[in-house]
Structure 1
Amino acid sequence: MKAIHITAALSLLALALPASAQNKQTAVANFVGKDGKENGRAQMTAAANGGVLIEVEISELPANKWVAFHVHETGRCDAATHYESAGGHFNPDSAEHGILAAKGPHAGDMPNQYVGQDGVLRAQIFDGMVTLDGKKDGIRGRTLMVHANSDDYRSQPSGDAGERLACGVVQ
Structure 2
Amino acid sequence: MKKLQLIGLILVLAISYQCKDAKKETQETMSDEVEATEVIVEEVVDVEIITFKMEPKSESMVQGEVTFTESDGMVSMSAVLSGLTEGEHAIHIHEKADCSSDDGKSTGGHWNPTHEPHGKWGAVEGYHKGDIGNFTADEEGNAVVEFETDQWCLGCDDENKNIVGKAVIVHQGVDDFTSQPSGAAGPRVSCTGIIN
SS at match of 2:106: helix
Letter in structure 2 aligned against 1:49? G
> What is the CA–CA distance in structure 2 between the aligned matches of 1:121 and 1:57, rounded to whole Å?
6
Query: For residue 92 of structure 1, what is the aligned residue in structure 2?
Result: 113
Q: Retained in 2: the 8 A contact 1:33–1:79? A: no
Identity of aligned residues (%): 28
Query: For residue 44 of structure 2, what is the aligned residue in structure 1?
Result: 17
Query: For residue 186 of structure 2, what is the aligned residue in structure 1?
Result: 162
* Root mean square deviation, CA, Å: 2.4
- CA distance 1:14–1:124, change in 2 (3 Å): farther
The higher-RCO structure (CA 8 Å, 6+ apart) is 1
Letter in structure 1 aligned against 2:105? E
Query: For residue 60 of structure 1, what is the aligned residue in structure 2?
Result: 83
> What is the CA–CA distance in structure 2 between the aligned matches of 1:89 and 1:53, rounded to whole Å?
19
Question: Displacement, 1:131?
Answer: 1.4
State yes or no: 1:149 paired with 2:173.
yes
TM norm structure 2:
0.69
Select the residue among 141, 146, 152 that pairs with 1:119. 141
Structure 2 unaligned residues grouped into runs of 5+: 1-39
> What is the CA–CA distance in structure 2 between the aligned matches of 1:165 and 1:83, rounded to whole Å?
7
> What is the CA–CA distance in structure 2 between the aligned matches of 1:57 and 1:45, rounded to whole Å?
14
State yes or no: 1:32 paired with 2:55.
yes
TM norm structure 1:
0.79
Q: Retained in 1: the 8 A contact 2:61–2:84? A: no
SS at match of 2:140: coil
Query: For residue 32 of structure 2, what is the aligned residue in structure 1?
Result: none
> What is the CA–CA distance in structure 1 between the aligned matches of 2:163 and 2:180, rounded to whole Å?
22
> What is the CA–CA distance in structure 1 between the aligned matches of 2:107 and 2:132, rounded to whole Å?
17
Aligned residues: 152
Structure 1 unaligned residues grouped into runs of 5+: 1-12
Rg (Cα) greater in structure: 2
